[in-house]
């Protein structure tokens, strides 16, 4: 047997599988994350609930007392719908960056998973879907808080969990891609300061984008968080035109398709090559 053949046989079976995409393998990855979540749900839930609630109360009542109304809404209502999207981003993208990097670099978790009949596509999809499910639930907490303080949503509010799930899936994939790009824990400082902050500040969360210069408004159109904010705000208050819904949804779907491909390709280089 040649050395090349020996190396081929030593590779994980998942890497040598034909181009099938098995939903059962994705469900297996999600089930593993659900079991692990059972060991840490208290601390995870505490952080997921308290942080956006503090943001909402501090900015909503602090700045709301000075601003009053903004874009035709009470400021706490305007902010509350934006914080939903921001919470989804933080609850999906940050764990995707940190946890995925630790699993790959230090715990070697993915080596064990890929030794099973799971390939990188299924691994990435399963990880992202789990984070999307979790963030979709936690992301609705600020909305419930805002309702408790007087927000009166329209019937479209029932779509918020679905929008939060789709946005969470997009940001989880983005975080997985980032985790496969960075080479050290120290690189995360650049990600959190140089990427996270501009994303949630230039998304129409705290103020309308119309207050920004025209070049910044154009740049914000490439921000997936902006489109998530607009969809959530439109679902809660209504009045979002059909063409706007199609635009925001289309951008998120396109972003998901591109970043899924990029995350799978980059992760394959990290854990297989």
Residue 257 CA to residue 273 CA, distance in Å, equals 23
**Chain mean position to CA 86:** 9
The DSSP string of 205-230 is SSS-GGGS-HHHHHHHTT-HHHHHHH
Residue 213 CA to residue 224 CA, distance in Å, equals 19
pLDDT per position as a tens digit, 245-267: 999 999 999 999 999 999 999 99
pLDDT per position as a tens digit, 138-156: 988 888 888 877 788 889 8
pLDDT per position as a tens digit, 10-54: 444 444 454 689 999 999 999 999 999 988 889 888 888 888 788
Helix axis angle for 75-102 and 120-138, nearest 10°, is 150
| Residue 73 backbone phi and psi in degrees, to 5 | -120, 155
Residue 256 CA to residue 260 CA, distance in Å, equals 6
Measured between alpha carbons, how far is residue 27 from residues 12, 17, 127, 262 in Å? 19, 18, 10, 22
CB 204 within 8 A of CB 229: yes
Which pLDDT does position 17 carry in this prediction?
52
pLDDT per position as a tens digit, 73-92: 888 888 888 889 999 999 99
Q: Which of 3-17, 97-111, 155-169, 228-242 has the lowest mean pLDDT?
A: 3-17
Quick count: other Cβ atoms within 10 Å of Cβ 113? 23
Q: Which helix (H) or strand (E) holds 73?
A: strand 73-74
């Amino acid at each position: 047997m040649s050395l090349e053949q020996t190396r081929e046989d030593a590779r994980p079976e998942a890497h040598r599988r034909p181009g099938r995409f098995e939903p059962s393998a994705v469900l297996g990855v999600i089930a593993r994350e659900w079991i692990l979540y059972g060991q840490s749900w208290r601390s995870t839930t505490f952080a997921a609930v308290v942080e956006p609630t503090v943001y909402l109360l501090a900015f909503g009542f602090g700045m709301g007392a000075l601003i009053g109304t903004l874009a035709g809404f009470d400021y706490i209502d305007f902010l509350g719908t934006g914080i939903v999207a921001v919470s989804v981003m933080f609850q999906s993208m940050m764990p995707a960056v940190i946890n995925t990097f630790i699993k790959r670099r230090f715990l070697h978790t993915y080596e064990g998973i890929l030794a099973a009949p799971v390939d990188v596509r299924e691994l990435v999809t399963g990880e992202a879907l789990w984070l999307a499910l979790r963030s979709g639930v936690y992301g609705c907490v600020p909305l419930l808080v805002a309702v408790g303080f007087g927000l009166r949503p329209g019937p479209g509010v029932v779509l918020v969990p679905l929008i939060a799930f789709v946005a969470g899936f997009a940001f989880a994939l983005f975080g997985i891609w980032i985790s496969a790009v960075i080479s050290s824990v120290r690189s995360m400082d650049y990600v959190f300061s140089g990427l996270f902050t501009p994303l949630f500040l230039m998304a129409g969360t705290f103020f309308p984008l119309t207050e920004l210069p025209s070049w910044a408004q154009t740049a914000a159109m490439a921000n997936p968080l902006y489109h998530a904010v607009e969809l959530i705000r439109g679902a809660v208050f209504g009045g979002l035109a059909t063409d706007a819904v199609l635009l925001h949804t289309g951008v998120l779907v396109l972003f998901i398709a591109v970043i899924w491909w990029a995350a799978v390709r980059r992760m394959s280089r990290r854990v297989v090559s």
